[in-house]
Amino acid sequence: MADGPAQTTLPAGAKTAADPGMADSQVGHGPGAGDVWVFVEQRDGVAAEVSLELLGRARELAGRLGVKVGAVVAGAGAPVRALAPALVARGADTVYLADHDDLAQYLALPYTRLIAGLVRRHQPQIVLYGATTTGRDLGPRVASTLRTGLTADCTDLRIGDLELRGVVTTDLLYQIRPAFGGNIIATIVSPEHVPQMATVREGVMVMPEADESRTGEIVEVAVARADGAASAPGAASADGPILLGDADFAARIVRRVQEEKSVDLKGARIVVSGGVGVGSREGFALVEELAHTLGGVVGASRAAVDAGWIDHDHQVGQTGVTVRPKLYIACGISGSVQHRAGMDQSARILAVNSDPGAPIFSVAHYGIVGDLHKVIPLLIRAYRKKGTG
């Protein structure tokens, strides 16, 4: 959950800004006064969606703090250079652009050296990463290099205050995520170390619209290969290039294999999901038929995935995909907190469940109590009739 020594889950007796009585305490500012940064993951000049989502939230956080938003992007040549202005349009005030052949593809050590070096130089107070394979690899390495903390897999980020033993620290990053199997939502803070860092799950924050009228600064980051240099991580002079040594390239990419996801849950306007109530792999044919009739895609609960009825790519929830479709139909899904975490922001939710007390009904806008094997064919018939009528 929280990596490194610097993170604190709000302890018993700690007060947040919402608690009364904070004004009587001794007040101090949180760690750092620098900007809010986002590490922008890119491939062939296309930014990861989660990085753009983070730029949107970074704008809100920076607005609260009265600082700027920085985006750090690395790669090689024209694709990454073309991406830089697009990041300004999505909310960055400053884009730190590191264009070097040795950064063409993500590798843990050179990228760690680059980000740690830039952080030492510019002192952002917050650095955010997508909770992707790359972000989960890079974030902890940067944290351990800089001796700061990192909260993994956040689902929300806010700015708030903390009172602990009579001392108030203002303007801290609240790093919010489910804990203990999703049974509680933990708010984790890092009051004594800078930068405050977090990885954030894809799809939990709203992607900002591109605003082509925004202006920002693109700062070229000088990077140099210092072959044979036994430089320590981040050991670059204050204004010279960031040096990458031989040791940073101990690993090399031999081949890149790309596999398409079997379903685009995140981009779907309609998701029809099945759970244990579907009863079998064959039972999913009914869920698929409803999804097909509506022009939607098929989702699933983890229990249905674990049962081997459907591929993990279809899983919605805390350890699956977070979706926000126009319509989410939950069929035979009880509505555990872990499932709801991935779908409760849907514009409209229809639940079909034989148990009127199922928790899914607490987030559903429309509910049908009944056996899904009877209800779904009726829905299919009704939608088809509407489509042809």
Residues engaged in binding ligand FAD (CB under 6 A): 181-182, 275-277, 301-304, 315-320, 332-334, 336, 338-339, 342, 352-355, 358, 371-373
Considering the complex, state which of residue 303 and residue 380 has its C-beta at the smaller distance from ligand FAD: 303
Considering the complex, state which of residue 187 and residue 338 has its C-beta at the smaller distance from ligand FAD: 338
Considering the complex, state which of residue 70 and residue 275 has its C-beta at the smaller distance from ligand FAD: 275
Hey, what are 112's tokens?
């760690």
CB of 275 to ligand FAD, least distance (A): 2
CB of 278 to ligand FAD, least distance (A): 8
Query: Measured between alpha carbons, how far is 195 from 37 in angstroms, rounded to an integer?
Result: 10
End-to-end CA distance of the chain: 53
Considering the complex, state which of residue 55 and residue 350 has its C-beta at the smaller distance from ligand FAD: 350
Considering the complex, state which of residue 56 and residue 370 has its C-beta at the smaller distance from ligand FAD: 370
Phi, psi of 225 (to 5 degrees): -90, 120
CB of 284 to ligand FAD, least distance (A): 12
Considering the complex, state which of residue 102 and residue 313 has its C-beta at the smaller distance from ligand FAD: 313
Which has the closest alpha carbon to 362: 339, 332, 335?
335
Pairing of β 167-179 and β 26-29: parallel
Considering the complex, state which of residue 103 and residue 352 has its C-beta at the smaller distance from ligand FAD: 352
CB of 103 to ligand FAD, least distance (A): 34
* Contact present, 205 and 185 (Cβ < 8 Å): no
CB of 292 to ligand FAD, least distance (A): 20
CB of 357 to ligand FAD, least distance (A): 9
Considering the complex, state which of residue 175 and residue 273 has its C-beta at the smaller distance from ligand FAD: 273
Considering the complex, state which of residue 78 and residue 184 has its C-beta at the smaller distance from ligand FAD: 184
CB of 11 to ligand FAD, least distance (A): 23
CB of 306 to ligand FAD, least distance (A): 8
Phi, psi of 276 (to 5 degrees): -55, -30
CB of 314 to ligand FAD, least distance (A): 10
CB of 379 to ligand FAD, least distance (A): 12
Considering the complex, state which of residue 32 and residue 274 has its C-beta at the smaller distance from ligand FAD: 274
SS3 readout for the chain:
CEECCCCEECCCCCEECCCCCHHHCEEEECCCCCCEEEEECEECCEECHHHHHHHHHHHHHHHHHCCCEEEEEEECCHHHHHHHHHHHHCCCCEEEEEECHHHCCCCHHHHHHHHHHHHHHHCCCEEEEECCHHHHHHHHHHHHHHCCCEEEEECEEEEEEEEECCEEEEEEEEEEEEECCCCEEEEEECCCCCCEEEEECCCCCCCCCCCCCCCCEEEECCEEECCCCCCCCCCCCCCCCEEECHHHHCCCCCCCCCCCCCCCCCCCCEEEEECHHHCCCCCHHHHHHHHHHHCCEEEECHHHHHCCCCCHHHEECCCCECCCCCEEEEECCCCCHHHHCCCCCCCEEEEEECCCCCHHHHCCCEEEECCHHHHHHHHHHHHHHHHHC
